[in-house]
């Protein structure tokens, strides 16, 4: 009888040990899974913070350059006014006057380029943030060729045809013929921003049109009729007017 009791105790102890061990393994696996799920989110948040910081620093440096360019333009305009008087009095040659006019044109070009870079910095960060936020969700959804998926934040079309950046001119020509203006390409191919976020954007371009507007609607119809894959994003970055755009090509994926 004593032996039977001992055996029951041993059996109970073994069962308890196995139960505890299984519990530890399950908890460890759950914690590992949670860590794996949390790490990309933390990494994405870190990259977002780093990129926003870098963008602010970049725009600050651009603002300083723009201030210098504007001062140079003011000085060039003052010098031109003086040169025009001297030329009218026959004291300087026409070539000297032309040099001053060229200096003004160059100063204006630098200002325009700085402003363009400032505007593109906003658009690029907005487009990439929107795409990065949707990337994880899109990775879970497989679409058949020719299928269309609509959500509140984006429209995704999986084209049956093939498209490469070398075909961009066809889309540009269609847009020019339709709206009598150039296609507003925000991002063409792979940029530094995509390298930073580790997004493969090598064979895609982003067009800065709202998918719900007439330009966006006609462009999407053209892409679908030609079997060209696209992603149309409606979402805007909070506090900005940037973000909505049409990504032409296969969805960007992480590498």
Asked if the model's pLDDT at residue 226 lies above 80, the reply is yes
pTM value > 0.85 = no
3-state secondary structure of 93: coil
Asked if the model's pLDDT at residue 222 lies above 60, the reply is yes
Residue 247, phi then psi, degrees to nearest 5: -90, 115
- Cross-strand partners of 232: 155, 246
Q: Do residues 230 and 138 make contact, with C-beta atoms less than 8 angstroms apart?
A: no
- Whole-angstrom Cα distance, residue 179 to residue 205? 19
Q: Point out the least confidently predicted range of 20-34, 98-112, 118-132, 151-165.
A: 20-34
Ranked by mean pLDDT, which of 43-52, 85-94, 112-121, 142-151 comes out on top? 85-94
Over residues 43-52, the mean pLDDT reads 59
Q: What is the pLDDT of residue 54?
A: 63
Domain-by-domain residue ranges, the chain? Answer: 143-248
Burial 133-152 (b: 16+ CB within 10 A, else e): bbbeebeeeeeeeeeeeeee
The rounded mean pLDDT for the chain is 76
**Nearest C-alpha neighbor of 157 from the set 105, 100, 216, 243:** 216
Residue 122 CB burial class (10 angstroms; 0-12, 13-18, ≥19): middle
3-state secondary structure of 74: helix
Tell me the torsion sign for CA atoms 193, 196, 197, 200: positive
Q: Do residues 243 and 237 make contact, with C-beta atoms less than 8 angstroms apart?
A: yes
Asked if the model's pLDDT at residue 4 lies above 80, the reply is no
Tell me the torsion sign for CA atoms 123, 125, 129, 131: positive
Give the tens place of pLDDT for each residue, 176-196.
Answer: 999 999 999 888 888 666 776
Asked if the model's pLDDT at residue 68 lies above 90, the reply is yes
Beta strands in the chain (DSSP E): 148-150, 154-157, 185-188, 205-207, 230-233, 245-248
Give the tens place of pLDDT for each residue, 238-253.
Answer: 544 457 889 999 877 6
- Whole-angstrom Cα distance, residue 243 to residue 209? 10
Per DSSP, the residues of 147-203 read -EEE-SSEEEE--SS---GGGHHHHHHHHHHHHSS---EEEES--HHHHHHTB--TT
Q: Point out the least confidently predicted range of 5-9, 49-53, 59-63, 190-194.
A: 5-9
Q: What is the pLDDT of residue 254?
A: 63
Residue 42's pLDDT band, with cuts at 50, 70 and 90, is low
């Amino acid at each position: 009888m004593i032996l039977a009791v001992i055996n029951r105790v041993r059996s109970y102890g073994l069962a308890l040990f196995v139960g505890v061990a299984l519990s530890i393994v399950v908890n460890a696996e759950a914690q590992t899974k949670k860590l794996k799920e949390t790490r990309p989110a933390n990494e994405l948040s870190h990259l977002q913070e780093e990129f926003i910081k870098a963008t602010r620093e970049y725009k600050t440096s651009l603002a300083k350059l723009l201030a210098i360019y504007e001062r140079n333009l003011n000085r060039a305009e003052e010098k031109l006014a003086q040169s025009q008087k001297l030329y009218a009095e026959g004291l300087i040659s026409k070539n000297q006057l032309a040099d001053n006019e060229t200096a003004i044109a160059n100063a204006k070009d630098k200002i325009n380029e700085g402003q363009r870079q400032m505007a593109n910095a906003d658009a690029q960060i907005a487009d990439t943030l929107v795409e990065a936020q949707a990337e994880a969700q899109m990775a879970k959804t497989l679409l058949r060729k020719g299928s269309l998926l609509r959500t509140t934040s984006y429209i995704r079309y999986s084209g049956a045809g093939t498209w490469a950046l070398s075909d961009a001119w066809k889309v540009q020509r269609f847009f020019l013929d339709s709206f009598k203006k150039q296609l507003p390409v925000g991002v063409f191919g792979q940029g530094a921003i995509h390298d930073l976020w580790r997004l493969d954007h090598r064979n895609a371009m982003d067009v800065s049109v709202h998918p719900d507007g007439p330009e966006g609607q006609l462009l999407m119809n053209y892409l679908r009729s030609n079997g060209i894959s696209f992603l149309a994003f409606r979402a805007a970055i909070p506090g900005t007017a940037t973000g909505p755009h049409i990504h032409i090509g296969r969805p960007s994926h992480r590498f």
